[in-house]
Amino acid sequence: MAKRLDKLVVVDLESTCWRGPPPPGEESEIIEVGVCLLDPKTLVREERRSLLVRPQRSSVSAFCTELTALRPEDLAGAGTLADACAVLAGQYDGRRRAWASYGDYDRRQLERCCRVQGLRYPFGPTHLNVKALFAFDAGLPHEVGLARALELSGLAFVGRPHRGVDDAWNVAALLAQLLARWQGAAPEANSGGA
């Protein structure tokens, strides 16, 4: 299967979470897959999308709602992780395109949740860890959070932190800036709203 290098699929996951450890019998699982397509040549963010996922093995805690703004009723009619993986593999051609996330949490969480649910992983082996790339490019002795990386880059956070769709949009902006610097070009104005 030939790789496609026409777009980068930038992903950010939100998962069920608690102020402390999960309650007995529950485990952290994906409740949102934020997606943003980035054209690596023009550096334009072309799409932003939220794939909501109904949890199967946990409930959305008050802490999780406070953090993500996602409520149990928002997810009651959502699709399954299998549905989200089908969109990532099909509509975004995830197994042939490179994909990116801010850090390795998203990659590991998606791998784990797919394994637990017996699902085929929707991506190929080419993953860009934007958190590590940024730290390397900025000459930092350690990785920093997304908000700090955007601040250090002179970029404003757009949207709500800890919403996958907004985090993916902002990660794509940061990645576009890194690619522009490495290519010696400036990113073009984005099509679409913030």
User: What pLDDT is stored for residue 55 in this prediction?
Assistant: 97
**Cβ contact 178:134 at 8 Å:** yes
User: What pLDDT is stored for residue 175 in this prediction?
Assistant: 98
Mean pLDDT of the chain: 94
Confidence tier at 185 by pLDDT (50, 70, 90): low
Pick from 101, 172, 188, 179: which is nearest to 137 by CA? 179
pLDDT at 18 over 70: yes
Per-position b or e across 105-131, b if 16+ CB within 10 A of its CB: ebbebbeebbeeeebebbbbeebbbbb
pLDDT at 193 over 80: no
The whole-model pTM stands at: 0.92
Domain 7-183 -> CATH class: alpha beta
The Cα–Cα gap between 57 and 25 comes to 8
pLDDT at 192 over 80: no
- Per-residue pLDDT tens digits for 126-136: 999 999 999 99
In degrees and rounded to multiples of 5, residue 20 shows phi and psi of -125, -150
